[in-house]
Amino acid sequence: MKVRPITTIKTIVAGIEQAGTGIKLFTLEDPDHWELPPFRPGAHIDLHLPNGLVRTYSLCNEPADNTRYVIAVKREAEGRGGSRALHDDIRVGDVIGVSLPRGGLEPGANITRHVFIAGGIGVTPFLSMVHHLARTTEADFTLHLIVRDELPLAAQLASLIDQGRVVVHRTSRIGRPDLAPLIGEVGPDTMVACCGPESMTDDFERLTAAWPAANVHVERFVAPPPVIDPNAKPFTLSLARSGAEIQVRAGQTMLAALQEGGVEIATSCCGGICGACKVGWIEGKPVHRDRILSAYERERFLMICVAGSDAERLVLDL
């Protein structure tokens, strides 16, 4: 069985520094100091860790800083193991395979107002974007950072806090602020984005439900529980490039079926929020259950880890 190639680039850990309680900032560079593949502000990369885990992180540096990738990782003792491995096992000089960057927030030509709402370490996707906006445009933007008390990544935020571009809300003193006045009024020239705990992102999605989808961006820490479809039926995956036919049992995920068939698929969250397993589809009727693809993207792509099929046959670009 011909497997799907997974593109990674070789990087070395050039620096590790503390960036708050339980937070480390990792700098990755090309071993020969070449420029790294370009990325959009706030793009994501998958780290292929030496212990076999693959984990997704946001790039904190801006695209003009193109000789390194910088990520911030909070150690989660009860997490799935990626943050613990990075904090406890990775040292300067270690080699880590990294995926090509994907996603990120594309500053629209007609967007003149940006509002970012972050909860704690959820600020990481927006660090790159706010520094990029501050350097390259005259657009109005505000980052509302909601923390209990201590500020994460304080050194990276200091200049923007001094400029009033980053507003810190400490819940230990005033409780969590009402998101509605922070978001403001809907408008075609306004983009709003949120990353934080589930309760915060749920409130944000409720408040922006009537907004144009292209003007709203949400990132989540944790994938939602898997959707169990009691009426799920078996279907066939047809792989256009290899010609293989893979049978998906009722209730089985496409990812599990492909892996059983010897097809290697890059995965990280396995819950439809990170984008690692995005695959093109050519023919059929996919059922989209992810939280990351836009309506436009769903016309061409699906997320293997959570998508299903409403037809007996689904053709993938594999």
pLDDT of residue 156: 93
Q: Examine the domain organization and report whether 182 and 241 are in the same domain.
A: no
| 142 belongs to a structural domain | yes
Domain boundary among 220, 251, 273: 220
Q: Check which CATH number belongs to the domain holding 30 and give it.
A: 2.40.30.10
The stretch 231-243 carries a mean pLDDT of 91
The stretch 56-62 carries a mean pLDDT of 94
Helix or strand run (H / E) with residue 208: none
Q: Examine the domain organization and report whether 23 and 88 are in the same domain.
A: yes
pLDDT of residue 51: 87
Name the one residue in this structure whose structure tokens are 């397993």.
277
How many other CB atoms are found less than 10 A from the CB of residue 178? Answer: 10
| 230 belongs to a structural domain | no
What's the domain range around 30? 8-99
Q: Note whether 138 and 112 are within 8 A (CB).
A: no
| 240 belongs to a structural domain | yes
Q: Check which CATH number belongs to the domain holding 203 and give it.
A: 3.40.50.80
| 288 belongs to a structural domain | yes
Cα gap 257→234, rounded to integer Å? 11
Q: Check which CATH number belongs to the domain holding 287 and give it.
A: 3.10.20.30
Is residue 64 helix, strand or coil? Answer: coil
Residue-wise pLDDT tens digits, 193-210: 999 998 999 999 999 999
| 267 belongs to a structural domain | yes
pTM (2 decimals)? 0.81
Structure tokens at 242: 């290899």
Residue-wise pLDDT tens digits, 249-303: 998 999 999 989 888 887 878 888 888 888 999 999 999 988 888 788 899 999 9
| 228 belongs to a structural domain | no
Domain boundary among 220, 247, 269: 220
Task: Tally helices (H) and strands (E) across the chain.
Answer: 8, 18
Residue 226's pLDDT band (cuts 50, 70, 90)? confident
Domain boundary among 35, 70, 99: 99
Q: Examine the domain organization and report whether 213 and 131 are in the same domain.
A: yes
Q: Examine the domain organization and report whether 90 and 21 are in the same domain.
A: yes
Q: What is the largest CA-CA distance in the chain?
A: 61
Helix residue spans in the chain (DSSP H): 82-89, 124-136, 154-162, 171-174, 179-183, 198-207, 254-260, 295-298
Q: Note whether 276 and 54 are within 8 A (CB).
A: yes
pLDDT of residue 6: 54
Domain count for the chain, please give it.
Answer: 3
Is residue 120 helix, strand or coil? Answer: helix
